């Protein structure tokens, strides 16, 4: 790659010829502030907070999009740039409802940080006392308050560019401009899939998940309830970020200890039902492979993907695995098998799931998710962020906690279960089990590296006891769309496809800790968090779902065998085609 | 001016839809074609209701939110059909300083809809226009082809009442 030499505040640095001023400054150790900029996703130079003085340009330039040139002199902190940024900041703050103390994003807000960094002591403009909350809470998973929106359009960019959905955009113009849906409909009247990626990129508190922690606190305080909690595979490698630990730290032991100290009656691992999913889905796959019907089988663990399929690709609904997701299997097993085993009335069991995901809040309310009729499989689904909030409220000093183990009944899991948290993980877990079942021989190498990694679409072929099996893995819904279009046109043929709604899979889910864009632009969260997942797998003795003793016991004593009638009743579900324009009476 | 959503039911015909669909097809894969398509659609239907914007979104692959964003951004696009009686109140400088703003408020109150929108029964629509070049008649309003100038509130009230009565008779 060709490079150029530039001077940043008098210091010479060599940078790639196609770098931006922002990137060059970073190489010199200077962080130019940004608000709207998202590397490769939203490079629009709109918010003007990154304006910088460079030689040869007439005025200030937007550092996030302005390319470097040989010999360019960049002055990031000139009086002119500083004053312009400060003025822009004051103007943004002038119609931002500044209720920082009671805001979800207090102390984790990019605007708040800039106001502090730029020493803003007073906002000279606007009438903040006239700003009223503008709440849109039609969706189960999300609350939007446009009175805190700064119109950076990061949510718009992830929704359209990354997820290929585009149900939100800027409406009207000038002072009237606001982010909303077409015809200012509520989100529930659109084909929003609840992935929550918009929440994780919002620089302020304009987009937040619907907080369900009160519901959990109430259950914990209710002596008549037996409150069990299950944690999703990826939460253990992200929760630490909420407590200032480095990205990619596995805090499983501390997480379990914290949950126990919060007062849960049992602390279980959803990895166990991830293993269970593999047994059910693997069996389903082999049945379909034999019959040739409804291939490719497409995974159904990701509720954002499932809802996407129902809205945008209903023709692929027969291809979806009928398996419930691990979260729902966890709830279902708690209220059937576990209740029976423990002699507890399922009505008294309150199931909490800790998820990397906002769509899990929606999934909980789907039809056909009641193993015990009249009882929801899961009673509360909270995100990694909400759990961190509960831990803080309880005054638990997270970093100082000892490492503890899950409660054994649903606490022994395999490495196959834990890798569900990264894109390709479900596929790899399934391949480990299915290959051994078909060949009847022990796998020599457990790593299916072809389906690992953060690329949006991965393909591989494996020999399954003489039969060639073609698999594909997609994460991020625009990648899923591209893959499905190829399948639809007949250009590509597969036997099994794994799709995760969020790019990189659950480790980058919409319910994960919020990292400021200044970090996201330069650190690959997906790769770092996934590395921790694969490390966990590597260190486990048990690495195949079908060898998990808990799973064996469940089948031996309760479900008979994978795919049995009873298993179907408890662990499988149904889907429904949904309109692309649910709010419009008669749509195409 | 807020581009208010219409309350009038969509009454598009098959012929109108065919004309629009043919036009969109003629644009091929040109991603930049949304503006001319919206202009054409407005020419065909007189406005850009949700039903029409969905046709455009589906055929071009551009999300509906983006189509609506464009339609609500530009003043040249309207989300409302015109009423049987199309009232336009000039808010150009001359008319405005002579009290057109108060006249507009009065008319909105009498007719029962806001500027830029249409009554539920589809009979009246009100627009606040820029200078129509009749400053000598300021303040001026037009109702369909009829021009009424040098008005005060009482006269405007009288004129509107005449139309309201006429609408009631039909």
- Domain assignment present for residue A584? The answer is no
Instruction: Please compute the mean of the pLDDT values over residues A281-286 and round it to a whole number.
Output: 97
- DSSP symbol at A409: G
> What is the model's pTM?
0.93
Give which of A194, A516, A216, A230 is closest to A355, Cα–Cα.
Answer: A230
For residue range A551-563, what is the model confidence (pLDDT) as tens digits?
Answer: 999 999 999 999 9
How many A-B residue pairs are in contact by the CB < 8 A criterion?
A: 55
**Is residue A50 helix, strand or coil?**
coil
| Residues of chain A neighbouring B2 (CB-CB closer than 8 A) | 172, 176
Do B102 and B165 belong to one domain?
Answer: yes
User: Phi-psi bin for B96: left (phi > 0), alpha (psi -120 to 50), beta?
Assistant: alpha
- Domain assignment present for residue A566? The answer is yes
Do B117 and B42 belong to one domain?
Answer: no
Q: What is the number of other CB atoms lying within 10 angstroms of the CB of residue B106?
A: 16
Q: What is the pLDDT of residue B5?
A: 67
Is the CB of residue B65 less than 8 Å from the CB of residue B24?
A: no
Do A490 and A558 belong to one domain?
Answer: yes
pLDDT at residue A19 tops 90: yes
Peptide bond between residue B139 and the one before it cis (omega within 30 degrees of 0) = yes
Residue B91's domain comprises: 85-169
- Domain assignment present for residue A295? The answer is yes
CA distance A179 to A147: 11
Torsion of CA A400, A405, A406, A412, to 10 degrees: 150
CATH of the domain at B111: 3.40.30.10
Q: Which of B65, B73, B79 has its CB closest to that of A166? A: B65
Distance of CA A146 to the CA centre of its chain: 23
Please identify which residue in the block is written with the tokens 């008779």.
Answer: B169
Do A142 and A288 belong to one domain?
Answer: no
Q: What is the pLDDT of residue A513?
A: 98
Do B89 and B162 belong to one domain?
Answer: yes
User: Phi-psi bin for A144: left (phi > 0), alpha (psi -120 to 50), beta?
Assistant: beta
Do B68 and B120 belong to one domain?
Answer: no
- Domain assignment present for residue B3? The answer is no
The domain total for chain B is 2
| Residues of chain B neighbouring A173 (CB-CB closer than 8 A) | 72-74
Name the minimum distance, in Å, from the CA of B69 to any CA of chain A. Answer: 5
- Domain assignment present for residue A580? The answer is no
Instruction: Please compute the mean of the pLDDT values over residues A68-86 and round it to a whole number.
Output: 95
Q: What is the pLDDT of residue B32?
A: 77
**Is residue A311 helix, strand or coil?**
helix
**Is residue A299 helix, strand or coil?**
coil
CATH of the domain at A507: 3.40.50.1780
Q: Which residues of chain B have pLDDT under 70?
A: 1-5
Do A184 and A267 belong to one domain?
Answer: no
Angle between helix B64-73 and B50-60 (nearest 10) = 120
Is the CB of residue A32 less than 8 Å from the CB of residue A52?
A: yes
Instruction: Please compute the mean of the pLDDT values over residues A46-50 and round it to a whole number.
Output: 95
Do A116 and A231 belong to one domain?
Answer: no
For residue range A396-451, what is the model confidence (pLDDT) as tens digits?
Answer: 999 999 999 999 999 999 999 999 999 999 999 999 999 999 999 999 999 999 99
Q: What is the pLDDT of residue A578?
A: 97
Do A418 and A541 belong to one domain?
Answer: yes
Is the CB of residue B73 less than 8 Å from the CB of residue A172?
A: yes
Do B137 and B65 belong to one domain?
Answer: no
Radius of gyration, CA atoms only, chain A: 25
- Domain assignment present for residue A579? The answer is no
Do A377 and A434 belong to one domain?
Answer: yes
CA distance A452 to A534: 9
Contacts of residue B86, defined as CB under 8 A and 6 or more positions apart, other chains included, come to B125, B127, B142, B143, B144
- Domain assignment present for residue A96? The answer is no
Give the 3-state secondary structure of chain B. CCCCCCCCCCCCCHHHHHHHHHHHHHCCCCHHHHHHHHHHHHHHHCCCCHHHHHHHHHHHCCCHHHHHHHHHHCCCCCCCCCCCEEEEEECCHHHHHCCHHHHHHHHHHHHCCCCCEECCCCCEEEEEECCCCCHHHCCCEEECCEEECCCCHHHHHHHHHHHHHHHHHC
Do A118 and A135 belong to one domain?
Answer: yes
**Average pLDDT value over all residues in chain A:** 96
Q: B5: nearest CA in chain A?
A: A183
pLDDT at residue A530 tops 70: yes
- DSSP symbol at A242: G
State how far the alpha carbon of B133 is from the alpha carbons of B76, B88, B151, in Å. 19, 13, 16
Which of A526-530, A579-583, B124-128 has maximum average pLDDT? A526-530
Band of pLDDT at residue A85, cut at 50, 70 and 90 = very high
Which residues in A have their CB inside 8 Å of a CB on B? 160, 165-173, 176, 181-184, 190, 581, 584, 586-588
Band of pLDDT at residue A240, cut at 50, 70 and 90 = very high
CATH of the domain at A74: 3.10.20.740
Do A279 and A371 belong to one domain?
Answer: yes
Do A429 and A547 belong to one domain?
Answer: yes
Residue A17's domain comprises: 3-90
- Domain assignment present for residue A561? The answer is yes
Tell which of A156, A182, A192 to mutate to test the B interface (max B CBs under 10 Å): A182
Give which of A581, A192, A577 is closest to B49, Cα–Cα.
Answer: A581
Is the CB of residue A26 less than 8 Å from the CB of residue A522?
A: yes
From A209, A231, A250, give the residue that closes a domain.
A209
Name the minimum distance, in Å, from the CA of A581 to any CA of chain B. Answer: 9
Cβ neighbourhood burial of A153 (10 Å; 0-12, 13-18, 19+): buried
Do B165 and B93 belong to one domain?
Answer: yes
Q: What is the pLDDT of residue A588?
A: 42
Please identify which residue in the block is written with the tokens 């790019």.
Answer: A503
Do A243 and A271 belong to one domain?
Answer: yes
Do B128 and B151 belong to one domain?
Answer: yes
Give which of B122, B140, B152, B115 is closest to B10, Cα–Cα.
Answer: B122
- Domain assignment present for residue A588? The answer is no
Do B59 and B123 belong to one domain?
Answer: no
For residue range A409-421, what is the model confidence (pLDDT) as tens digits?
Answer: 999 999 999 999 9
Do A205 and A270 belong to one domain?
Answer: no
CA distance A277 to A417: 9
For residue range A136-167, what is the model confidence (pLDDT) as tens digits?
Answer: 999 999 999 999 999 999 999 999 999 999 99
State how far the alpha carbon of A236 is from the alpha carbons of A338, A351, A421, A451, in Å. 24, 19, 10, 22
From A184, A209, A234, give the residue that closes a domain.
A209
Contacts of residue A382, defined as CB under 8 A and 6 or more positions apart, other chains included, come to A212, A213, A216, A352, A353, A354, A355, A390
Is the CB of residue A332 less than 8 Å from the CB of residue A570?
A: yes
Torsion of CA A249, A251, A252, A258, to 10 degrees: -160
Q: Do B73 and A169 touch (CB under 8 A)?
A: no
Q: Which of B50, B55, B63 has its CB closest to that of A166? A: B63
Do B139 and B164 belong to one domain?
Answer: yes
């Amino acid at each position: 790659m060709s490079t150029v030499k530039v001077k940043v505040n008098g210091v010479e640095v060599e940078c790639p010829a196609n770098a931006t001023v922002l990137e060059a400054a970073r190489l010199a150790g200077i962080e130019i502030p940004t608000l709207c900029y998202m590397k490769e996703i939203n490079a629009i130079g709109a918010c003007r907070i990154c304006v910088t003085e460079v030689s040869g340009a007439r005025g200030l330039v937007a550092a996030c999009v302005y390319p470097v040139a040989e010999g360019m002199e960049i002055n990031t902190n000139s009086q002119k740039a500083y004053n312009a940024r400060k003025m822009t900041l004051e103007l943004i703050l002038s119609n931002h409802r500044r209720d920082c103390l009671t805001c979800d994003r207090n102390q984790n807000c990019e605007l708040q940080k800039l106001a502090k960094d730029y020493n803003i002591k007073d906002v000279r403009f606007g009438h903040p006392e006239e700003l009223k909350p503008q709440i849109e809470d039609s969706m189960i998973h999300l609350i939007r308050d446009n009175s805190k929106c700064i119109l950076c359009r990061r949510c718009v960019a992830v929704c359209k560019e990354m997820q290929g959905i585009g149900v939100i955009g800027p409406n009207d113009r000038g002072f009237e401009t606001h982010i909303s849906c077409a015809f200012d409909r509520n989100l529930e009247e659109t084909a929003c899939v609840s992935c929550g990626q918009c929440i994780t990129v919002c620089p302020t508190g304009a987009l937040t998940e619907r907080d369900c922690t009160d519901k959990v606190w109430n259950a914990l305080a209710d002596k008549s309830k037996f409150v069990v909690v299950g944690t999703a595979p990826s939460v253990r490698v992200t929760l630490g970020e909420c407590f200032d630990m480095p990205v990619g730290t596995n805090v499983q032991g501390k997480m379990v200890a914290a949950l126990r100290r919060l007062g849960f009656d049992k602390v279980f691992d959803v990895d166990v039902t991830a293993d269970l999913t593999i047994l059910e889905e693997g069996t389903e796959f082999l049945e379909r492979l034999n019959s040739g019907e409804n291939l490719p089988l497409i995974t159904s663990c990701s509720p954002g993907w499932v809802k996407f399929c129902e809205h945008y690709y209903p023709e692929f609904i027969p291809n979806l695995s009928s398996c419930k997701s691990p979260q729902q299997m966890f709830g279902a097993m708690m209220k059937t098998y576990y209740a029976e085993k423990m002699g507890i009335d399922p009505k008294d069991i309150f199931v909490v799931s800790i998820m990397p995901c906002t769509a899990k809040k929606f999934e909980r309310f789907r039809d056909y998710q009641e193993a015990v009729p009249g009882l929801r499989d899961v009673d509360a689904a909270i995100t990694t962020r909400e759990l961190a909030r509960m831990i803080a409220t309880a005054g638990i000093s997270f970093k100082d906690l000892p490492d503890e183990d899950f409660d054994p009944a649903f606490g022994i899991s395999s490495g196959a279960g834990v890798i569900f948290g990264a894109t390709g993980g479900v596929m790899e877990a399934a391949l480990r089990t299915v290959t051994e079942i078909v060949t009847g021989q022990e796998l020599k190498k457990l790593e299916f590296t072809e389906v690992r990694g953060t690329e949006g679409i991965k393909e591989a072929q494996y020999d399954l006891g003489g039969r060639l099996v073609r698999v594909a893995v997609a994460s991020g819904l625009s990648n899923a769309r591209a893959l499905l279009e190829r399948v639809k046109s007949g250009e590509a043929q597969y036997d099994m496809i794994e799709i995760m709604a969020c790019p990189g899979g659950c480790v980058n889910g919409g319910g994960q800790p919020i990292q400021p864009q200044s970090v996201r632009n330069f650190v690959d969260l997906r790769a770092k968090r996934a590395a921790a997942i694969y490390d966990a797998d590597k260190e486990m003795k048990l690495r195949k779902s079908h060898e998990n003793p808990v799973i064996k016991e469940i089948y031996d004593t309760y479900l008979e065998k994978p795919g049995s009638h009873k298993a179907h009743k408890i662990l499988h579900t149904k889907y429904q085609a949904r309109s692309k324009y649910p709010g419009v009476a008669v749509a195409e | 001016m807020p581009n208010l959503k219409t309350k009038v039911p969509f009454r598009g015909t098959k012929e109108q839809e065919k004309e629009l669909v043919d036009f969109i097809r003629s644009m091929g894969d040109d991603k930049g074609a949304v503006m001319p398509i919206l202009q054409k659609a407005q020419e065909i239907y007189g406005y850009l209701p949700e039903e029409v914007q969905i046709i455009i979104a589906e055929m071009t692959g551009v999300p509906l939110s983006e189509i609506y964003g464009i339609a609500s951004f530009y003043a040249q696009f309207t989300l409302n059909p015109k009423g049987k009686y199309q009232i336009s109140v000039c808010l150009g400088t001359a008319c405005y300083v002579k009290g057109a703003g108060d006249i507009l408020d009065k008319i909105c109150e009498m007719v029962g809809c806001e500027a830029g929108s249409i009554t539920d029964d589809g009979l009246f629509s009100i627009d606040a226009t820029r200078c129509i070049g009749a400053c000598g008649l300021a303040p001026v309003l037009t109702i369909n082809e009829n021009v009424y100038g040098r008005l005060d509130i009482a006269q405007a009230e009288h004129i509107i009442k005449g139309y309201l009565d006429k609408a009631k008779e039909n």
